[in-house]
Amino acid sequence: MKPVNRITHHQRQGSALVLSLIFIAMFSALAAAMAGMSGANIQIAENHRKVNNARACAESGLEVIRFWMDKVEISGTTAPDQLFAKLTADLQSKLTNAGITNLVPTSTTIAISNVSVNSGLGQSFSALLTKLDNKNIRVDVTGHYGSFNRTIRSAYTFDDRANNVFDFGVASKGPISLSGNVEIEGVNLQVESNAYIESLNNLLSLSIIGNSHIAGSVKIVNPLAMVHLQGGKAGIGGETGAAAMNHVQIGVEPCEFPEMDPTPFIPYATRVLRASDSTSANATYENLKIPAGMNPSFSGNVVLKGVVFIESPNVVTFSGGVNVTGIIVTNGDPTDNSATNKLKFTGNVTGNPITQLPQQTQFEGLHDKTGTFIMAPGFQVGFGGSFSTLSGAIAANGIELWGKAGGTINGSIVNYSDAPMTLQGNTDLYFNRSGLTEVPAGFVPQLVMFYNPASYEEVP
């Protein structure tokens, strides 16, 4: 039997240990790398958090600036190069009243220093308003969080309000009261006779009694307004009783009552009415001025051409026939609702478009001042006689119609007084506002700040 040959293998002691050490080193390196990466990610996340906090502060600041800019109201008579100065004064006044005094204005900028958002976390914002030109403002709002800052830029523009009371046939700051046989109709469409009422100081905003009716719809600003309908034929929008309320909206957004500015017309009134002038005879007046305190009563038939300017205080009565080709204006206090000053028409009235004035030197520049028949700040205006057509809007601090007053009005009737606007008797008003897209001459809409959403950007 042959002996078995045994093969002897030499063992390599320690190789497993070496491999283990290698893997341990690799995993340690990976762990260290992952720990480092995690730390970096945490730091990046922390930086993002701080950046987002800074951006959130800028967003908060932008909303605060928008809140105050939305409150800015500037007279439309302001010269374009004075708008930024008016904006500065208006903002400074409003913010001072709110206890905010950190405004630093110059002729072209308004700087607002750090405004705290969260003092405990060190969050705040600052803002810089810059005049780009007479109509446009750039607003940079910077949010601050620790050492991180982010700036958001936007733009604002001076412009007229979108809605005003001349979009309605009848508009009143005070309540409206109809009694008797009063009809308010549209000549072409019923919307021409729509009514707008603020009545913020009187809950009874609209009262319709008897056979009176408003053919259009009614919008009332006072959210607590009440509407009183009395009589089987008292109605709104072609319906009576409870169904009439389908045509009434309560709690609507307010519209603007444009500022009454008679100053462009006053220089035309060069023919001064004298105490020796007879007001009982038939007469023709061109560009007439009625001095303060004269209180004339015209009982004859009167022809008025161009501008009729009535100084305050005065009570002026036309009891005879009146034929007007032009505009009647007063210079009363637009906040005077006392009805101390009066302009009364108890006879028949004819109103012709101002475009029908002769092409003569004394009327030069008047022909394009269209859309207005009476603009009487601080005066109560009343009609007791009939009229065929009045070519323009009627606006005053108090409106009354009684008796057989009525006819067609190519424009709107606007009551700037908180006192009720009253229509009673056999008054039929037909409103023709077809083609009227411009604010009537002499009425100046307020300028407000419009935010341009498309201008929003984050500044690097």
Strands 406-409 and 428-431: parallel
**Residue 16 one-letter amino acid:** A
- For residues 309-322, one letter each, b for 16 or more C-beta atoms within 10 angstroms of the residue's C-beta and e for the rest, the string is bbbbbbbbbbbbbb
C-alpha distances out from residue 119 to 99, 142, 144, 145, Å: 18, 16, 11, 10
pLDDT along the chain (460 residues), means of 10: 57 70 78 68 66 88 91 90 94 85 91 85 90 95 90 93 89 96 92 96 96 96 96 90 95 94 96 92 95 95 97 96 96 95 94 94 95 97 89 95 91 96 92 86 92 90
Per-residue model confidence (pLDDT) at position 327: 97
Per-residue model confidence (pLDDT) at position 35: 66
Per-residue model confidence (pLDDT) at position 44: 64
Per-residue model confidence (pLDDT) at position 259: 94
Per-residue model confidence (pLDDT) at position 409: 93
Residue/partner pairs of 147-151 with CB below 8 Å, 24 or more apart: 148/47, 148/50, 148/51, 148/53, 148/54, 149/54, 150/51, 150/54, 150/55, 150/57, 150/58, 150/458, 151/58, 151/458, 151/459
Per-residue model confidence (pLDDT) at position 108: 95
Per-residue model confidence (pLDDT) at position 361: 96
Per-residue model confidence (pLDDT) at position 350: 92
Per-residue model confidence (pLDDT) at position 420: 94
Per-residue model confidence (pLDDT) at position 375: 97
